Structure 1
């Protein structure tokens, strides 16, 4: 048995039915083995290694299985680093296979030679080079175990080409897979005895308790469990950007998004006023806490933190209680151990108080959501998209780049269907992820249409993947937010009190023409009427399509970003939105 066939068989044994990648000189033996097993595992060719990584990342975020991508040596490995770093920092299980130069050429100046194992060490949980063909099964097992257990994350395997060409005696190896590590979280950790009892002791004393759902809730597939716990205990919930979707947005206990970018003022007020804050699956980092300046009333000694990674516990605040465990297991134990005499009705005035804030905010928001300005306001785009999504009536996967879509979609889009997921990679804020991500989302679940949102800066970085959408028949709906600049960076320039913006403007792309050049159905929307018509037709269309939306830039008005509003000497917690000029 050749090493390449062993590798493919191990992937199949772990339930891998799709992987993403880009061809190169060194991975030809791997491709030959994949071709022999085409009916068991599908290879999706991307047009760039970064794109292949974002496809795998989205696949893993939207399933309970690790995403797999592969690349050739040299530049292919270097291009693969950004998405792998994003996955690892976001606790997303992804495995990268770098098919590298043969071992005999190591250290002899071969073209594309690179110490890939060391290159990926800082941005993975494990990065190793395979040095013996017989060890391939063992190392693949370790890769899945590391990626899927504990805090999920990224793994990199550097596999020299000669390992795949080698003949291996099948009687000398075992091709078994660990069933627990086919999905994540593998070997989830339950809370230590007594911890849930301590939590209830704190809850009994609290009059204004609050759950904060972080990205770990979604990684643990714990949204339903959190919803049950919140309802049983009558405790409101706010979420971070990566925790969106833990509760349906129309739930009476789902208060909104906290933090800096795209926050809800009523949700941030909840965090300010709560007397017991229970963080579930959140590292309590700089975005959630606005650089640890929010809330103004310190979180010290009013925080319970539940996290699968003990190293994160009490890292940024003095916790009242730290629980090292898988989010779903803790929440299920809370449900099972809830005292029969626990009186959640005492929290009703607190919930009513927060929902009064929430209703006030949405009443005021109505004015900006219906504006008919040209260029189109982001708020109006969100309103019309939300109406079409509700009319569509089916669950979708929404994949957004960092940039123009983020603050407004996060703040103003309301999703009532908990099966719909809204994903934004937040660890490094890299651009160019959304278009390839819709491919990964489609392979994650072909019953849900993928929708990609991105600015024109991101579009220019990933436009080649439009061909992938057509070739693989991915029925994605793409929304291009087009305004001819890197709006976030241009806004930062203006936030300093001057209009000397350097290196941020470019020619706006002709999005419709570019899409049509790839045989993608497309529309241009420059007015509210054109937007409504384009959305209506796009949702009805059953193939890949793109709407080129001519939209106001983030540099035209200060967006709903807590720290930016604070720099303008405004109250970020004001419930009524207002137009804020930079200059």
Structure 2
């Protein structure tokens, strides 16, 4: 059997249903193998390797299975690097297969020759080049295990063209699936006891849920503790969706990006913070300011690398989040923790959260010359189903979505690329989301800076007739950077402005129905129209200039109220 055929059979055996990729000279044999098995595995031909990797990334985030991306040698792998790095930084399991020049062409200066393993070393959990066909089953098993175990991330396998072509007597056992049972570490029971002791001494406890709750799938476990013991839950932007945000125990997103004075103040007033799967970086902690009252901090994470990294904790526990919450719940039940009364604490925190949404409502009603971005998110909140999925690029739409949109069903219903905040992510990544959850309505939100970096994948969407709603929030600038210039560089702008484009006509050129919206009065009808289409649609929305609004970014809103000379930009 050709090695390429064996690899495809192994992918099928490991429950891989879809692969995102781009063809190339050195991958023709591999692609021939995919064609031979096309009834069992779907190959999505993309227009760019970077976007193929983004699709695999979001497929993994939404499905909970490793995303698979296939790229050709040399430049193909180079283009995929942003997607691999984003996945590793955000703890998302993806497996990248890159073809390579034949072993006989190594060190000859062959076209596309590149030291591919060395290239990806710093942005993957593990990578290798396969030089013997006999090693293929072992390496594929390892790839699935490493990508998903512990703190997940990207892995990379480089396969020379002549290895793809090589015939080898693979056995049925060789082609059997890997054991993909996730290796989860349970917490030491004595440390769970310590957590309970610290918690029982508190009168104002909260839980801060990060992206680790999604990775562990610990939604029911988190909810049962929050509801049964009346403990409020806030989330980082990556942890958004860990709890139903309409729940009386939901605080909402905290931190800089999408956090508000109200939600951050709840954390500041807490005397006990249980941190679940969060890096606690400066974006989440507002440069550590939300811990300025020195609460007791317990941090739980699957990776030792994250523990005690940014905030000095009172107790750090390396454990799977779901396993930890199960043990803590049992401990609290056995100890009769439900007898502790947090009524006044909850009453206060709920009043503060109510103030947040009252402020948001006023922001939605604010009159603007062009479309008010807060109004876009408000209408999506009102008119979308609870199983809808949103893929959101960095930029203006990001903090509005984090702060104002309420997740109606626990789960990763909103995807943010917060590893690097790459522009150009959301348009293509929404394709991965649609394949991961074909029965969900998928929405992709991005700015015009991002659109210019990803417009080619509209052809992919049109070709596949995916019913995604694309929403371009156009303000003729790299809005986030321009706002930094306005606030912190005396309104001296450079390299941030560009001409307005006709996004609607561009989408129509790809065969996608589109609508241009430039006033608040047109907005609701346009969003309703888009939601009810069964084919891809594109809303080109001209939003208020970034210099005339202040998105819900904590330090921006605070600094806009003080003299320019006293402002200090946040260090990430």
Residues 358-400 of structure 1: CA deviation (Å, up to 9, x unaligned): 11222233222122422111112222222222xxx35111000
* Equivalent in 317, 326, 330 of residue 311 of structure 2: 317
Are positions 1:489 and 2:484 aligned together?
A: no
Are positions 1:170 and 2:165 aligned together?
A: no
Structure 2 equivalent of residue 128 of structure 1: 128
Superposed counterparts of 1:208-357, under 5 Å = 208-298=204-294, 302-338=296-332, 339-343=334-338, 345-357=340-352
Q: How far has the Cα of 1:230 moved from its partner?
A: 1.0
Residues 262-290 of structure 1: CA deviation (Å, up to 9, x unaligned): 11322211111111100001111121122
Unaligned regions of 5+ residues in structure 2, if any? Answer: 564-572
* Equivalent in 416, 419, 433 of residue 424 of structure 1: 416
In the aligned structure 1, how far is the partner of 2:548 from the partner of 2:131? 55
Are positions 1:527 and 2:523 aligned together?
A: no
In the aligned structure 1, how far is the partner of 2:291 from the partner of 2:448? 34
Are positions 1:366 and 2:361 aligned together?
A: yes
Change in CA separation of 1:344 and 1:102 when aligned onto 2, cut-off 3 Å: farther
Are positions 1:441 and 2:433 aligned together?
A: yes
Q: How far has the Cα of 1:424 moved from its partner?
A: 0.5
Q: How many residues align?
A: 562
Is the CA contact (8 Å cut-off) linking 1:482 and 1:551 kept in structure 2? yes
- Per mean C-alpha deviation after superposition, the further-off stretch among 511-520 and 339-348 is 339-348
In the aligned structure 1, how far is the partner of 2:554 from the partner of 2:386? 33
Structure 1 equivalent of residue 380 of structure 2: 385
Structure 2 equivalent of residue 580 of structure 1: none
In the aligned structure 1, how far is the partner of 2:220 from the partner of 2:450? 33
In the aligned structure 2, how far is the partner of 1:81 from the partner of 1:520? 29
Are positions 1:140 and 2:140 aligned together?
A: yes
Q: How far has the Cα of 1:341 moved from its partner?
A: 1.9
In the aligned structure 2, how far is the partner of 1:541 from the partner of 1:266? 37
Is the CA contact (8 Å cut-off) linking 1:370 and 1:383 kept in structure 2? no
Change in CA separation of 1:527 and 1:107 when aligned onto 2, cut-off 3 Å: same
Residues 494-533 of structure 1: CA deviation (Å, up to 9, x unaligned): 1125222111111122011111111111111111221111
Q: TM-score by structure 2 length?
A: 0.95
Structure 1 equivalent of residue 42 of structure 2: 42
Change in CA separation of 1:77 and 1:348 when aligned onto 2, cut-off 3 Å: same
Structure 2 equivalent of residue 581 of structure 1: none
Is the CA contact (8 Å cut-off) linking 1:524 and 1:530 kept in structure 2? no
Is the CA contact (8 Å cut-off) linking 2:513 and 2:537 kept in structure 1? yes
Structure 1 equivalent of residue 201 of structure 2: 205
Structure 2 equivalent of residue 465 of structure 1: 457
Q: How far has the Cα of 1:336 moved from its partner?
A: 2.4
Q: TM-score by structure 1 length?
A: 0.94
In the aligned structure 2, how far is the partner of 1:308 from the partner of 1:65? 18
Structure 2 equivalent of residue 84 of structure 1: 84
Is the CA contact (8 Å cut-off) linking 1:232 and 1:344 kept in structure 2? no
Superposed counterparts of 1:22-171, under 5 Å = 22-171=22-171
Q: How far has the Cα of 1:481 moved from its partner?
A: 0.2
Is the CA contact (8 Å cut-off) linking 1:395 and 1:420 kept in structure 2? no
What SS is found at the alignment partner of 1:95? strand
Residues 92-132 of structure 1: CA deviation (Å, up to 9, x unaligned): 00010011111111111111111010110100100111111
In the aligned structure 1, how far is the partner of 2:317 from the partner of 2:229? 19
In the aligned structure 2, how far is the partner of 1:80 from the partner of 1:497? 34
Structure 2 equivalent of residue 516 of structure 1: 508
- Per mean C-alpha deviation after superposition, the further-off stretch among 377-386 and 83-92 is 377-386
What SS is found at the alignment partner of 1:96? strand
In the aligned structure 1, how far is the partner of 2:100 from the partner of 2:545? 43
Are positions 1:400 and 2:396 aligned together?
A: no
Structure 1 equivalent of residue 567 of structure 2: none
* Equivalent in 519, 532, 537 of residue 540 of structure 1: 532
In the aligned structure 2, how far is the partner of 1:481 from the partner of 1:470? 21
In the aligned structure 2, how far is the partner of 1:70 from the partner of 1:233? 47
Is the CA contact (8 Å cut-off) linking 1:134 and 1:173 kept in structure 2? no
Is the CA contact (8 Å cut-off) linking 2:372 and 2:520 kept in structure 1? no
Unaligned regions of 5+ residues in structure 1, if any? Answer: 572-583
Change in CA separation of 1:269 and 1:32 when aligned onto 2, cut-off 3 Å: same
